[in-house]
Amino acid sequence: MSGGNVSLPPGFRFYPTEEELVVHFLQRKAALLPCHPDVIPDLDLYPYDPWQLDGKALAEGKQWYFYSRRTQNRITENGYWNPTGIEESVVTSANRTVGMKKCLGFYIGEAPAGMKTSWIMEEYRLLSSDSSSSSRRKSSKTRANPKTDHSKWVICKVYERSCDEDDDDGAELSCLDEVFLSLDDLDEISLPN
């Protein structure tokens, strides 16, 4: 499979729940088990800004999905991903915790003084116990290569939050207008009433 070029039958859409992302996709990836359909690509996120994901990650509507390695380095060419809030548990319908979700916001510029954008990433990871149990199920061929640690995979969902969802002062500017305005000297700008 190459990037976001997925061939799903007509009428089928990719809208998994958080439980499905963790249980059906991420646990199988970490355990080196096949996943059908195999539609989510592996992608090293951090060389790419979020608007560069189209054609590289699985696109469904205005959301992009991909597997990546779990890392602390979240710096891209033009900015960085910064965690927002605390990690949340991913719970099955049987009320069993199967993973964790971390939300990150994308900032343009260098940390910590970057400018917040409307891009959001939800990063899903397995619990430590799930990771270790999947590590024990690895084949002897995989154990021979200690550099490959499949328990460190995460699955990411990236999307651009609409400006309607922002908690702002009610100004009716597009997300791009907000970015461009923030780059200028705000004292010289007059906004229409």
Q: How far apart are CA 165 and CA 148, in angstroms?
A: 40
Q: What is the mean pLDDT of residues 102-122?
A: 95
Query: What pTM does this model have?
Result: 0.71
> pLDDT tier at 174 (50, 70, 90 boundaries)?
low
User: What is the dotted CATH code of the domain comprising 18-73+87-103+122-129+150-162?
Assistant: 2.170.150.80
pLDDT surpassing 90 at residue 42: yes
Residue spans per domain, the chain: 18-73+87-103+122-129+150-162
Strongest mean pLDDT among 5-19, 62-76, 119-133, 160-174: 62-76
More confident residue, 151 or 108: 108
More confident residue, 78 or 193: 78
Give the pLDDT of residue 64: 95
pLDDT in tens, 113-133: 999 999 999 999 998 754 434
Percent share of the chain, pLDDT over 90: 48
Give the pLDDT of residue 18: 96
> pLDDT tier at 142 (50, 70, 90 boundaries)?
very low
Q: Where does 76-159 have alpha helices with state H?
A: 128-136, 140-143
pLDDT surpassing 80 at residue 76: yes
Give the pLDDT of residue 72: 81
